[in-house]
Structure formats: structure tokens, C-alpha cells
């Protein structure tokens, strides 16, 4: 079992890794519960980002802080197919695939409505899941969603196929081997993810390095790089009836090169103009707020979660 070194308080709140079967694949998850109190309120379902070495372990710091600040919600923290301790089949992954996986997880494991928290460009998974199981979603929190012009643009099918074929080759294999090196992970994290290079700490790097040892994880990364997650979601966003919180870092930047230059305020305004029940907030940080700005992130979402609980 692959597992980074975690703070003892996180280990105490988390169940051992558990598994369920979806479409003949073994999928992993863990359940966090408060140590000294009974669970209360609406459960949280976490959707981790996709990237080299990224899995449900991305949320460990958030889970520690959530209970450290006396919250009592049960937290369900799954590994998406192709990531972490879930099976990693060689396939092209789309948001609808992961949404269907999570729909099954909600129906068979959780069995009650949840508040979704989706990180970064995995917001399309949350949007697809709301369409599939609206009765099981109480509200959404979109942490650092992609720039609006990217979220509302269809990616060319031919380009997606071309990129996938390039990545699903010895070229992609070599790229992944380089991308999982400590040097690359430090550079990418400092240049694209964190507001301060000092926050690219050993806990972050060791977690990524441990998970990236599994070469099977490259197919989820390649699917992301091939932009299978990108299409025009404007009509789907406009149809979300649930309360939705958009949270951005005050130095949020676009990871995609095609994103237009925009301020965090402009990005929030674009989302809120489309969401029927949207609200937005900025906090200190850049693009990985639940990890880099954990204390501020928990404080920012707490009133929203309490209101829906």
C-alpha cells in the first residue's frame, strides 16, 4: 500500500484504505471522522486534482485542519480511477467517467447527499456529477476553477486525439519519467501552483514522489494534458440549482497557456454571472488553496458548509 508519511492527527481521523468495485475496477477511498465527537452535518465529498503524483493524499492537510477547527462532518476522500490506490487502466479519461464513478460511490457507499469540494480543473467532474445525481448533491465548492474562457470553450477533437496519441507512446512514457523527478516537481510547483516557493515543502514533494512511482498513473495525467476535460460547460453551470461557492487565491493564475489574462475578481464575476445560486470569495494563495492556504481555506468555506448542514 503506497502511503506518504502523514501527521498523526490525520491518521487518527482516517479509516484504513477501503475499496469498492466499479465496472470491474477496484477503487480506493478513505473516510475521515472527528476523533472526540459524533459526526454531524452534511458529509463532504472531495475531488482531488489530476497531475503527476496527485491523488486523494492532496486533501490530507485539509482534513487535519477541518477537525482541528472542531468541525464534525464526515469526509469521504476517494481516489479517482487511474489515480492513487485505485486501479490505473490504460484508457483516456473524461470528466463523465469520473463523475459516473463518483455517482456509483454515492449510491452504494455514502448513500446520502453530500457537499462536493472540487479542486482546480476537476470542477467539470463536479458539474457532470450534479447532472447525474442532483438529489445527492446539497452544494458545491469550486476551489480554483479554470479561467472562464477555458471553461466555456470546446477543445478540438482532432487536437485531443493527436495529443493523446503522442502521450500514449514512448514519448509520453519518457516525459512522465522526467515529470516525476524531484527537480521537475519543484520547478512546476513553484512556477505554476504556489504563491510562495517556500510553501513547496517536503510533505508536498514526498507525497508526489511516492505516488508518482506508479507508472500506471500516467494515463490520467495524459488524459488531462490531452484536454479531455475541456468543453463548453456554460449551459451546465447555468443549470446548477444547488448553492455553489467559488473560491480563488488572490494571486490565482491560469495554468493553461490559452487562458486570457484575468484578475481573480474577474474570474469570480464570470462564474457568478452564470451560476443561479453562486457566491464567491478570495483568500491568500494561488492555485492549490486547500494545501497552500489550508487555514484560510477552511475558514472561508466553513460558513457555507454550516449553512448547508
Find the mean pLDDT for residues 18-43. Answer: 92
Per-residue HEC secondary structure of 201-270 comes to CHHHHHHHHHHHCCHHHHHHHHHHHCCCCCCCCHHHHHCCCCCEEEEEECCCCCCCCCCCCCCHHHHHHH
pLDDT in tens, 266-277: 999 999 999 999
Would you say the pTM of this structure is higher than 0.75?
A: yes
Q: What is the pLDDT at residue 55? A: 96
Query: CA-to-CA distance for 113 and 267, rounded, in angstroms?
Result: 28
pLDDT in tens, 2-25: 333 344 455 567 789 999 999 999
Find the mean pLDDT for residues 156-171. Answer: 93
* Domain 8-308 CATH superfamily: Alpha/Beta hydrolase fold, catalytic domain (3.40.50.1820)
Find the mean pLDDT for residues 61-88. Answer: 95
How many CB atoms sit inside 10 A of residue 138's CB? 17
Q: What is the pLDDT at residue 9? A: 52
Q: What is the pLDDT at residue 260? A: 62
**Residue boundaries of the structural domains of the chain:** 8-308
Find the mean pLDDT for residues 188-214. Answer: 93
Q: Is the pLDDT of residue 110 over 50?
A: yes
User: From the centroid of its chain, how far is CA 193?
Assistant: 13
How many CB atoms sit inside 10 A of residue 121's CB? 24
Q: What is the pLDDT at residue 37? A: 77
Q: What is the pLDDT at residue 257? A: 56
Nearest Cα residue to 49 out of 189, 148, 170, 245 = 189
Q: What is the pLDDT at residue 4? A: 38
Amino acid at each position: 500500500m503506497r502511503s506518504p508519511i502523514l501527521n498523526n492527527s490525520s491518521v487518527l481521523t482516517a479509516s484504513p484504505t477501503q475499496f469498492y468495485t466499479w465496472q470491474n475496477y477496484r477503487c480506493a477511498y478513505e473516510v475521515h471522522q472527528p476523533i472526540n465527537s459524533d459526526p454531524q452535518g452534511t458529509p463532504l465529498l472531495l475531488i482531488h486534482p489530476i497531475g503527476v503524483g496527485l491523488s486523494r493524499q492532496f486533501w490530507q492537510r485539509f482534513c487535519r485542519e477541518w477537525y482541528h477547527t472542531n468541525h464534525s462532518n464526515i469526509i469521504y476522500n476517494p481516489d479517482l480511477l487511474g489515480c492513487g490506490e485505485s486501479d490505473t487502466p490504460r484508457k483516456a479519461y473524461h470528466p463523465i467517467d469520473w463523475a459516473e464513478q463518483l455517482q456509483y460511490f454515492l449510491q452504494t457507499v455514502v448513500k446520502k447527499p453530500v457537499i462536493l469540494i472540487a479542486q482546480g480543473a476537476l470542477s467539470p467532474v463536479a458539474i457532470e456529477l450534479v447532472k447525474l445525481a442532483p438529489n445527492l448533491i446539497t452544494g458545491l465548492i469550486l476551489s480554483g476553477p479554470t479561467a472562464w474562457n477555458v471553461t466555456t470553450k470546446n477543445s478540438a477533437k482532432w487536437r485531443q486525439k493527436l495529443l493523446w496519441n503522442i502521450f500514449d507512446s514512448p514519448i509520453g512514457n519518457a516525459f512522465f519519467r522526467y515529470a516525476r523527478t524531484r527537480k521537475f516537481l519543484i520547478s512546476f510547483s513553484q512556477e505554476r501552483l504556489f504563491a510562495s516557493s517556500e510553501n513547496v515543502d517536503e510533505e508536498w514533494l514526498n507525497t508526489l514522489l511516492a505516488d508518482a512511482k506508479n507508472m500506471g498513473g500516467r494515463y490520467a495525467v495524459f488524459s488531462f494534458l490531452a484536454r479531455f476535460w475541456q468543453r463548453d460547460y456554460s449551459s451546465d453551470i447555468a443549470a446548477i440549482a444547488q448553492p455553489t461557492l467559488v473560491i480563488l487565491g488572490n494571486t490565482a493564475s491560469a495554468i493553461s497557456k490559452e487562458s486570457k489574462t484575468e484578475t481573480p475578481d474577474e474570474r469570480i464575476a464570470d462564474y457568478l454571472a452564470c451560476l443561479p445560486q453562486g457566491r464567491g470569495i478570495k483568500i491568500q494563495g494561488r492555485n492549490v488553496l486547500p494545501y497552500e492556504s489550508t487555514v484560510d481555506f477552511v475558514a472561508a468555506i466553513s460558513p457555507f458548509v454550516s449553512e448547508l448542514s
